[in-house]
């Protein structure tokens, strides 16, 4: 990959054009815990759009000299870039989609810092307060469409998948686009890009000119999963838990494509939420689908869920192999069922307020070695709480694999130790081993070396 860089000064493309002096001062704060580093790293990830580099730590090191400065001028604000990836420019001008994403990062970083953190109106110590914060971040980003019928499908899957799996995700997206469904993903490449690309073609054929392609990311993962160029609404949530809640609050259905540990984390989050007694009557379509070559992948996922969470969890999803039309029809029918339910209950179409999400799923999990050792991985608890603990375990493995702070923690202190009942860790070990065997735990340029050790 080329590391050619350019310097530039750019103006916003209609996303955010004015800032207060206090906000600019915060964005220039380079101290530990200051806002500058967060803004800089997320901005660099956005500028890396289209690159094959999917290692967050390598990205930060390769462009170590990159700087971004906010300039206040008489007409508003500009951004001065020093040492930015040249791939973000065409003939000296920044690609418009990347420009929009860059100012979306600025918008969200400033909003969370000024309006959410430390604001007594958002009690982040309570479940309701966290949900309220998620709603306001999404509303400020302008992605909620209050006058539209439910049609938003969240697509999960790996950012580094085989070509045939990518092509399959694109075909499913195409079939969903033909049926008037919009797409929301984690905004990156692979199974996050494929459905959007397919839906864009389906929308074009149906002359749908206002299709929505939402990308939802967070600072810890965006460097490894830079926003793909099809995303026309990007929002950066403060952490992975709020990102996951955003998905299930705004989505009307979920389609899961092949992936790895991060995809398993997402599946566990949704199943844990749906297993809560308050949510058992809420329709929420969930389709797991892939080409014939992914059949073993979904078989392992299904066996893991059966061995840990049981039959009730398995009834919340349907596995469809090598049939894009059926997958699209299934999720379209599920979205319509969700629409009828929300209409009967008086719930908003654009934000699923009725869904009960407890703090076990909302509180940010910091994957330290101590926290990973202390996970509650046993059957002597309600199944939705077990799902929450399993989700945290997989989240920690994701951090150890691809997040800069997680990689450094492993280098300094050795493997994460994951302890629990043999009846839980046995299926987990089998699933993780299958990911390694299928090369779904690969790391850029080298063989996968586990960042964890299971202790039964």
Nearest to 103 by CA among 77, 135, 85, 129: 77
Which residues are bridge partners to 416 per DSSP? Answer: 452
**From CA 271, how far away is CA 383, in angstroms rounded?**
10
Q: Give the range among 25-29, 110-114, 242-246, 311-315 with minimum mean pLDDT.
A: 25-29
What is the C-alpha to C-alpha distance for residues 194 and 192, in angstroms, rounded to an integer? 6
> Would the pTM of this model clear 0.85, i.e. be above it?
yes
CA distance 181 to 190: 19
Share of the chain above pLDDT 90, in %: 76
Can you give the pLDDT at residue 456? 81
List pLDDT tens digits, range 160-219.
899 999 999 999 999 999 999 999 999 989 999 999 999 999 999 999 999 999 999 999
pLDDT above 80 (res 444): no
Band (pLDDT 50/70/90 cuts) for residue 1 is: very low
Domains within the chain, CATH numbers bracketed:
5-117 (3.30.1850.10), 119-456 (3.40.50.450)
CA–CA gap between residue 142 and residue 138 (Å, rounded): 7
- Span 384-404, pLDDT tens digits: 999 999 999 999 998 888 787
**17: phi > 0 → left, psi -120 to 50 → alpha, else beta; which?**
alpha
Residue 60 and residue 20: Cα distance in Å, rounded? Answer: 29
Contact 195, 166 (CB under 8 A): no
């Amino acid at each position: 990959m080329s590391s050619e860089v350019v310097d530039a000064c750019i103006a916003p493309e209609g996303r955010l054009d004015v800032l207060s002096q206090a906000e600019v001062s915060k964005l220039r704060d380079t101290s530990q815990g200051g806002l500058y580093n967060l803004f800089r790293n997320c901005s660099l990830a956005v500028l890396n759009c289209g690159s094959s580099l999917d290692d967050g730590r390598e990205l930060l090191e390769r462009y170590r000299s990159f700087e971004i400065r906010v300039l206040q001028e008489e007409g508003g604000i500009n951004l001065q870039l020093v040492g930015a990836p040249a791939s973000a420019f065409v003939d000296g001008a920044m690609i418009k989609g990347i420009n929009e994403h860059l100012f979306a990062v600025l918008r969200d970083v400033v909003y969370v810092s000024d309006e959410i953190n430390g604001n007594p109106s958002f009690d982040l110590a309570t479940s309701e307060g966290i949900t309220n914060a998620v709603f306001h971040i999404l509303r400020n980003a302008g992605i909620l469409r209050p006058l539209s019928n439910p049609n938003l499908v969240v697509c999960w899957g790996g950012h580094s998948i085989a070509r045939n799996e990518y092509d399959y995700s694109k075909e499913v997206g195409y079939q969903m686009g033909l049926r008037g469904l919009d797409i929301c993903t984690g905004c990156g490449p692979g199974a996050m890009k494929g459905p959007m690309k397919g839906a864009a073609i389906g929308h074009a054929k149906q002359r749908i000119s206002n299709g929505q392609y939402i990308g939802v990311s967070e600072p810890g993962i965006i460097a490894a999963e830079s926003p793909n160029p099809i995303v026309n609404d990007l929002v950066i949530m403060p952490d992975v838990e709020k990102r996951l809640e955003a998905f299930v609050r705004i989505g009307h259905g979920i389609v899961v494509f092949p992936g790895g540990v991060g995809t398993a984390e997402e599946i566990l989050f949704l199943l844990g939420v749906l297993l809560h007694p308050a949510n058992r009557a809420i329709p929420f379509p969930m389709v797991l689908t892939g080409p014939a070559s992914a059949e073993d992948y979904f078989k392992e996922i299904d066996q893991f869920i059966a061995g840990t969470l049981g039959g009730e969890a398995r009834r919340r999803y349907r596995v469809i192999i090598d049939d894009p039309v059926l997958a699209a029809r299934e999720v379209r029918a599920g979205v319509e069922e969700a629409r009828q339910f929300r209409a009967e209950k008086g719930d908003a179409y654009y934000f699923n307020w009725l869904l009960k999400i407890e703090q076990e799923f909302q509180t940010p999990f910091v994957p330290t070695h101590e926290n990973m050792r202390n996970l509650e991985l046993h059957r002597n608890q309600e199944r939705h709480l077990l799902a929450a603990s399993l989700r945290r375990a997989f989240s920690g493995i994701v951090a150890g694999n691809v997040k800069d702070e997680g990689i450094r923690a492993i280098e300094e202190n050795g493997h994460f130790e994951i302890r629990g009942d043999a009846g839980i860790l046995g299926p987990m070990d089998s699933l993780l081993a299958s990911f390694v065997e299928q090369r779904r735990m690969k790391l850029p340029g080298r063989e996968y070396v586990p960042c964890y050790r299971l202790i039964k």
